[in-house]
Structure 1
Amino acid sequence: MLENLRTLGRVIRTLATKDPVTRVRRFYEIQSPDVEFAARTSRYMNVGYWEEGVNSIDVAGEALATKLADAAGFKPDDTVLDVGFGYGDQDFAWLRDRRVAKVHGINVTPRHVAHARERAAREGLTEQADFQLGTATELPFPDNTFDRVVALESAFHFHPRSAFFAEAFRVLKPGGTLATADIIPLSNETPRMSISSGPLSFVKFSIPDENWHDRTVYAEQLTSAGFVNAEVQSIQDRTWEGWRLFQAARPSDPAFQAAADRSAVKGMANHWRDENLIKKEIALLDYVIAVAHKP
């Protein structure tokens, strides 16, 4: 009960926050990590890429990170900038599996930065993985620094995303690639404030109006920033429904029940109770992989 009251207090404080950067930071401080990652093996925070037969968000989360790396064309010895890296699980996977030379991470949430730095130190990777506080629209790097810039389910927060595109273009080397995994509406006609279910509340409260547009506008903004060959591909059919099914079943999972306290289990069950509304609203959302290149 006490933790539920604390969570409610954090929600109220977040909703009352006007500054967009602080608002996003507080949004990611609402849920206790002990609940968010209870009975899990990773700290991926994305909705996941759900191949046939996958029933774990940890597996789906890494699959989405792999999908983004493939889209970006990661090569050994690349220098990568990961903007809005969460807890950084994908960065360690890319260092391990793709053999990139170095990953720099930028994030607005101190909790995330501290966790990623601690993991890098623990795994002896401080020379290959650098994580720091910063914002996507004012990247603290010189021009022409990176081979790849990526944003794994984070760019919808950036205020605005078009300013991030301009900054990504600036810090990329000529011939470099920007790739994002991102959440947008299927149609520009869908009012953002009409999304009302609890699990999708982030749409209403942490996506700026400037970022609420469809694939066509997304590609146009990439082109306006100077990029060429912009492609915005929907992967909606492998994202939202797998995520919904996993999350809705989680309160009934014995492993989750054993790892989280009773009030957290009850709260999550209540959060996901309106299946019809959640499915209806998910049907209004797209999920895209966008790729563009700096000439």
Structure 2
Amino acid sequence: MSITDDGDYGAKQVGFLEIIWGEGFLSPGGIEELDLMLTGLNISNKDVLDIGCGCGGAAFHLTRNYNVNTVTGIDVEPLVIKRATELAHKYRLTDQTNFEVVDPGPLAFEENQFDVVFSKDAFLHIPDKEGLAVEVARVIRPGGLLVASDWMRSNDEPLSDEMMEYIAAEGMDMHMCSIGRYRDAIALAGFVDIELKDRNKWYSDLAKREVAAMSRSPLREKIVNLIGENEAKNTIEIWKKMIGVLESGEHRPGHIRARMPDAKVKIE
């Protein structure tokens, strides 16, 4: 959003998104969407890497409700890692969660270090999807799981004017690709049992409800008190631009699940 005041996620941005999506969350859907992503999976006693962990909302939910062993959350934004660490202390989850600021690029972990690689709407900030898939495959253990959601597109053709206008209004690095490109990248990296679920209609409907809520009391007052009247109006306009590309079908949020075979093949 245009209210970023330091990097992609400044203090106002984080505070605003937590008002909309809940404490610790910087993307839509809350715990209900997390539970849907994980439906039917057993990740009990697993070591989890959360890529683009934000303020830790997903990590805390996995720790509290899925009996995971550990969650290591990484993000390139120091402010959100600071917030996640604060919340870990607040929730008394510091023994099971760890949050680290990382540089963009290859993951700074050993091969076969994690049972599960998780991500919630963060891969869109990484341009090289194929390189990302290879890195995820490298750090995941044989038989391990990739569980993610991301903001994607209907195809990999040049962006429409409407989409370019929306991304410019967001003021953030957004490298959305097609669901098909993700499928190909994940398969090429060695994953099997690949599942992709389109969530366009769900978020199109939710985004409209979010705009309606932001436009009236009591949510509107909370937002205005945090970011001011002008920014509140501007943010609603950005949301409406997003709804436009959701309704056109170009913007297609979705879920990604895949498994690394028990006999893992190293991809050079």
Q: Shared fold (TM-score greater than 0.5)?
A: yes
Deviates more, 1:192-201 or 1:179-188: 192-201
The Cα of 1:127 is off from its aligned counterpart by: 1.9
Structure 1 pair 74/26, CA: closer, same or farther in 2 (3 Å)? farther
Going from structure 1 to structure 2, the CA distance change for 1:192 and 1:103 (only over 3 Å counts) comes to farther
Q: Distance in 2 between matches of 1:269 and 1:75?
A: 42
| 1:293 and 2:259 aligned | yes
**TM (normalized to structure 2)?**
0.84
> Is the CA contact (8 Å cut-off) linking 1:80 and 1:103 kept in structure 2?
yes
Q: Shift in Å at residue 249 of structure 1?
A: 3.0
Structure 2 CA distance for partners of 1:97 and 1:277, relative to 1, 3 Å: closer
Quote the Cα distance in structure 1 between the aligned partners of 2:11 and 2:83.
16
Cα separation, partners in 2 of 1:115 and 1:126, compared to 1, 3 Å: same
- The whole-number CA distance in structure 2 between the counterparts of 1:129 and 1:227 is 26
Matches within 5 A, 1:87-236: 87-135=55-103, 137-189=105-157, 191=159, 194-197=162-165, 201-202=169-170, 205-208=172-175, 212-236=176-200
Contact 1:35 1:264 in 2 (8 A): no
- Is 2:210 the counterpart of 1:242? no
Matched residue SS, 2:156: coil
Match of 2:35 in 1: 66
Equivalent AA in structure 1 for residue 27 of structure 2: N
Query: C-alpha separation between the residues in 1 aligned to 2:82 and 2:54?
Result: 11
Amino acid in structure 2 at the alignment position of 1:29: G
Matched letter for residue 107 of structure 1: D
2:7 to 26, 34, 50: 26
- The number of equivalent residue pairs is 258
Match of 1:58 in 2: none
User: 1:58-104: per-residue Cα shift (whole Å, max 9, x none)?
Assistant: xxx22112222337x24210111100011001111111111111101
Worse-superposed segment, 245-254 or 101-110: 245-254
Partners of 1:117 and 1:254 lie apart in 2 by: 29
In the TM superposition, residue 232 of structure 1 has moved relative to its aligned partner by 1.6
Matched, 1:47 2:47: no
Amino acid of the residue matched to residue 286 of structure 1?
R
Q: Secondary structure at the match of 2:106?
A: coil
Output the CA distance in 1 between the equivalents of 2:172 and 2:85: 29
Compute the TM-score of the two structures, normalised by the length of structure 1.
Answer: 0.77
RMSD over aligned Cα atoms:
2.9
Report the Cα offset of residue 192 of structure 1.
Answer: 5.5
| Conserved? CA contact 1:35–1:260, under 8 Å | no
Would the aligned equivalents of 2:51 and 2:73 in 1 still touch at CA under 8 Å? yes
CA separation in 2, counterparts of 1:176 and 1:40?
A: 29
What is residue 266 of structure 2 aligned with on the other side? none
Q: CA deviation at 1:225?
A: 1.2
Counterpart amino acid of residue 221 in structure 1: A
2: distance between equivalents of 1:139 and 1:271?
Answer: 33
Find the counterpart in structure 2 of residue 53 from structure 1: none
Say whether the 8 Å CA contact 2:52–2:75 is kept in structure 1.
yes
Q: Is the 8 A contact 2:120 2:149 kept in 1?
A: yes
Secondary structure of 1:26's match?
Answer: coil
User: Would the aligned equivalents of 2:17 and 2:25 in 1 still touch at CA under 8 Å?
Assistant: no
- In the alignment, the residues of structure 2 paired with residue 36 and residue 266 of structure 1 have an alpha-carbon distance, to the nearest angstrom, of 17
Counterpart residue identity of residue 122, structure 1: K
Change (3 A) 1:250 1:129: same
In structure 2, relative to structure 1, the CA distance for the partners of 1:228 and 1:113 (3 Å cut) is same
Identical columns (%): 20
Output the amino acid matched with 1:177: L
- Post-superposition offset of 1:113: 0.9
Counterpart secondary structure, 2:107: coil
* 1:261 corresponds to which of 213, 220, 225: 225
Aligned equivalents of 1:275, 1:76: Cα separation in 2: 37
User: Kindly tell me: are residues 95 and 196 of structure 1, through their superposed partners in 2, closer, same or farther at Cα, counting changes over 3 Å?
Assistant: same
Cα distance in 2, alignment partners of residues 97 and 286 from structure 1:
28
In 1, Cα distance between equivalents of 2:226 and 2:143: 53
Q: Distance in 2 between matches of 1:163 and 1:75?
A: 25
Q: Are the structure 2 counterparts of residues 242 and 259 from structure 1 closer, same or farther at C-alpha, using a change threshold of 3 Å? A: closer
Distance 1:131 1:230 in 2: 28
Q: Give the whole-Å Cα distance in 2 for the aligned partners of 1:74 and 1:234.
A: 22
